[in-house]
């Protein structure tokens, strides 16, 4: 806690810093007030190493160990907004827990978050952070998320934060009718954020924007 207070003393992780981040996101086009409020609430600096805490509110992806990164604030906000665009979400699956930051933001926006991570150490750390923040509507699983989480399927929303070369069938089949998945698809330097909606007539794909995510890797890490 000493470190945290010291950082607050120099203003790098203060609520005011978070407020500036919210203003930047609004200027960048994020409109959903609930998403902006969730970003205002979640202390992003607690999701990165203490040495990087002073950079936690910059618009950048930061390393979280094991060759992985915490997504940029804009991407976290944008993907949350896309998932909520067509109404409330009750059960949401996240593939790629990483630091747990995106899951913590989502915990303020949906009834239940189910999040899956393949790297054991990241899974444990994220679970510990969520306990510390007393967010009790998030469930964690250490597994290959490309297979979803069959016990809790179907999901109204699925958010994938690592990019596969193509959309895993195991995930689309776990979407509830009317449910939506937001997923980056493609190779390292050529990825498209895609939204897939399950309708009575089948799956509708929309290409949204060019993005850069770490690759989705199969099996446990
Ligand atoms: N949502 C995260 C972003 C983490 S980066 C955050 O807010 O910090 C993507 C994460 O996906 C990494 O932690 C990586 O280990 C994980 N990942 C990659 N392939 C996976 C798979 N098949 N199943 C589950 N997690 C996976």
pLDDT greater than 60 at residue 4: no
- Residue extents of the structural domains in the chain: 61-211
- Per-residue pLDDT of 30-49, as tens digits, reads 999 999 999 999 999 999 98
Beta strands in the chain (DSSP E): 62-65, 68-70, 91-95, 112-117, 138-142, 155-160, 175-187, 190-199, 202-211
101 close to ligand 1 (CB < 6 Angstrom): yes
Q: Output 5-11 pairs: Cβ under 8 A, ≥24 positions apart.
A: 7/45, 7/53, 7/54, 10/54
The residue length of the chain stands at: 221
Within 10 angstroms of residue 67's Cβ, the number of other Cβ atoms is 10
**Mean per-residue pLDDT, 131-136:** 96
For a ligand 1 pocket test, name from 66, 77, 118, 188 the mutation site with the most ligand atoms within 8 angstroms of its C-beta: 118
Nearest atom in ligand 1 to 159's CA: 1
User: Is 69's C-beta closer than 6 angstroms to any atom of ligand 1?
Assistant: yes
CA neighbours within 13 Å on the CB side: how many for 33? 0
Q: In this model, does residue 78 exceed pLDDT 50?
A: yes
pTM of the model: 0.95
Mean of pLDDT values over 187-200: 95
Atom of ligand 1 nearest to the CA of 144: 23
The CATH homologous superfamily of the domain defined by 61-211: Vaccinia Virus protein VP39 (3.40.50.150)
- Under a CB-based contact definition with an 8 Å cutoff, are residues 39 and 105 in contact? yes
Q: What is the pLDDT of residues 156-192, one digit of tens each?
A: 999 999 999 999 999 999 999 999 999 999 998 899 9
Q: Which residues carry out catalysis? A: 71
Neighbours of 72 (CB within 10 A): 16
Task: Tell how far the Cα of 10 is from the centroid of ligand 1, in angstroms.
Answer: 32
> Between the CA of residue 130 and those of 73, 205, 208, 214, what are the distances in Å?
18, 33, 30, 23
Of 66, 123, 162, the one to substitute when testing ligand 1's pocket (max ligand atoms within 8 A of C-beta) is: 162
């Amino acid at each position: 806690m000493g470190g945290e207070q010291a950082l607050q003393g120099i203003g790098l992780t203060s609520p005011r810093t978070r407020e500036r981040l919210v203003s930047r996101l609004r200027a960048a086009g994020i409109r959903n007030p609930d998403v902006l409020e969730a970003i205002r609430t979640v202390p992003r600096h607690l999701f990165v190493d203490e040495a990087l805490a002073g950079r936690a509110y910059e618009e950048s992806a930061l390393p979280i160990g094991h060759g992985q990164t915490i997504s940029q604030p804009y991407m976290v906000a944008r993907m949350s907004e896309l998932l909520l665009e067509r109404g409330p979400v009750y059960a949401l699956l996240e593939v790629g827990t990483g630091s747990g930051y995106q899951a913590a933001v989502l915990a303020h926006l949906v009834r239940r978050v189910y999040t899956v991570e393949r790297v054991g150490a990241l899974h444990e750390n994220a679970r510990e952070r969520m306990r510390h923040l007393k967010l009790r509507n998030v469930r964690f699983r250490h597994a290959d998320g490309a297979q979803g989480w069959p016990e809790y399927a179907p999901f109204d929303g699925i958010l994938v934060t690592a990019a596969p070369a193509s959309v895993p069938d195991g995930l689309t089949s776990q979407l509830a009718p009317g449910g939506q998945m937001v997923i980056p698809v493609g190779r390292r330097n050529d990825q498209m954020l895609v939204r897939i909606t399950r309708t009575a007539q089948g799956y509708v794909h929309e290409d949204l924007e060019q993005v850069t995510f770490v690759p989705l890797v199969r099996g446990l890490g």
